[in-house]
Chain A
Amino acid sequence: MKLKFYNKKITGILSILPKNKVYFKDEMNNYNFTKKQSLKLAKIMGYSTRRVVNKKTSVSDLCVFGLNYLFKNKLLKKDKVDALILVTQSPDYFLPPTSNVISGKINLRSDVICLDINQGCAGYEVGLIQAFMLLEQKSISKVVILNADILSKKVSIKDRNSRPLIGDGASITIVEKSKTKEEINVYIKMDGKKYDSLIIPAGAFKQPTNSNTKNLKKDKFGNSRSLENLLMKGDDIFNFIITKIPEMLKEMYKDLKIKKEYFDYFFFHQPNKFILEKLANTIEIPNSKLPSNIVENFGNGSGITVPLNICFNLGSKAKKNNYKVCLGGFGVGLTWSIIACNIKKLSFCKIIEFKK
């Protein structure tokens, strides 16, 4: 699907990270790998430090903390928010929507649309699409997108396939109508036949938890996980990314009559260093234009990786300059999307730590 939007822009990005740091080296003894194998794994994949929440912290806690920071520092006015979109796979409750819970906690007026979206790796792009669509309405001028996930709670300690890469966190992106002429081009595709390439099989309504769903089972690679744990088929995901993203980029270059050099940055989702470097090679983009340093510093926080990538690698430079960027998300669903837009003189672009 190709979508075009006009006269809309991102005006601020804030990332919220939990304070707790977990180090790969402290956890590698849990994996069914020798020390040498584990160290090699860490080097190739870029595993080092990840940020995880403590037991009591929920997605709404992270989002409320970030929103209050923006209100307190006069970066966002409460009565100007027309819609609140939360993209998460780890909601506080099955029902009600966590976006409603957040709206209540920060005391938003009732003349606001709250909306939860279940998306992950491409959750930033899906959230942006929803925000752009809402902004087509006369009565909506400002949309707040929240991306938040705490999936570290769902990865088995004996799963070297997923455990060492998953991080937690949240991000807040403000999207507004723009007076200057802006064109945003969106490409998005989905393949539901591969829904089980990235999945938490049990715990919802299809397969509720019972005494068996907690049992750890060893797979053919020696990783142990239960049906309540996150399962990622690494080879499927790798093959999917390395073929679908180059195809989609080619399509975009052709449609927009641009070359890859047009973009200053490719801010892509951060599954791990290995995949990103192979992807950068395939699409012939220098590593300096396609950052791959999020997993090693913070972990892969699903839908938060693109905004965190922008905050970490551009930071306050995004307040002064204009950048032509290609955003990209790919994973759970399966869903993949790229967005060609501008990051232009944001009013804020930074990372804060969640404190309770």
Chain B
Amino acid sequence: MIEIEKFLIQLSKILEVKKIKNKDKFEKLKEWDSLAMLSVIALVNEMYKITISASDFKKFKKVGNLVSFIEKKKKK
């Protein structure tokens, strides 16, 4: 849980928002673009050693989708 919180803090820094919530939609975030996406892909890799392709990422509409994807992968 603590680790996910750390991840969300880093995520909010990349996306330049004060606090990021699970229900936030990536496409609706002001700073969301291809560069932000690559930065998030890199962050997930750095923290969890999980690789995500851009086409996989497109399936995550909300921040919560990404978080549950990471948690699922971690359990494996």
Contacts and interface: CB of A to CB of B under 8 A. Distances in A.
A307 B34 CA distance: 31
B29 interface: no
Contacts of A282: 45-46
Interface in B45-60: 45-46, 51-54, 57
Nearest to B33: A37
A14 B27 CA distance: 48
Interface stretch (B2-10, B18-26, B35-43, B62-70): B35-43
A6 interface: no
A44 B51 contact: no
Interface residues on B, range: 10 to 19
A33 interface: yes
B38 A234 contact: yes
A260 to B, nearest CB: 18
A235 interface: yes
Contact of B45 (A161, A233, A239): A239
B35 A37 contact: yes
A236 B42 CA distance: 12
B51 A242 contact: yes
Chain A interface, >50% SS class:
helix
Contacts of A238: 38, 41-42
Nearest to A282: B46
B35 A235 contact: no
A282 B39 CA distance: 15
B33, B46, B52 — which one has the most chain A CB atoms within 10 A of its CB? Answer: B33
Contacts of A44: 35, 39
A281 B42 CA distance: 11
Given A281-B46, A282-B46, A239 B35 contact: no
B42 A278 contact: yes
A44 B14 CA distance: 11
A42 B53 CA distance: 22
A238 B38 CA distance: 9
Contacts of B51: 239, 242-243
A324 interface: no
A157 B63 CA distance: 33
A233 B38 CA distance: 11
A233 to B, nearest CB: 8
B34 A274 contact: no
A33 B33 contact: yes
Contacts of B54: 233-236
B45 A236 contact: no
Contacts of A281: 46
A278 B45 contact: yes
A290 interface: no
Contacts of A218: none
Given A235-B54, A236-B53, A242-B51, A221 B42 contact: no
Contacts of A37: 33, 35
Interface string A222-253: 10000000000111101100110000000000
A207 B19 CA distance: 49
Given A44-B39, A242-B45, A281-B46, A221 B34 contact: yes
27 contacts: A37-B33, A40-B35, A44-B39, A221-B34, A233-B54, A234-B34, A234-B38, A234-B54, A235-B37, A235-B38, A235-B41, A235-B53, A235-B54, A235-B57, A236-B53, A238-B38, A238-B42, A239-B41, A239-B45, A239-B51, A242-B42, A242-B51, A243-B51, A274-B38, A278-B45, A281-B46, A282-B46
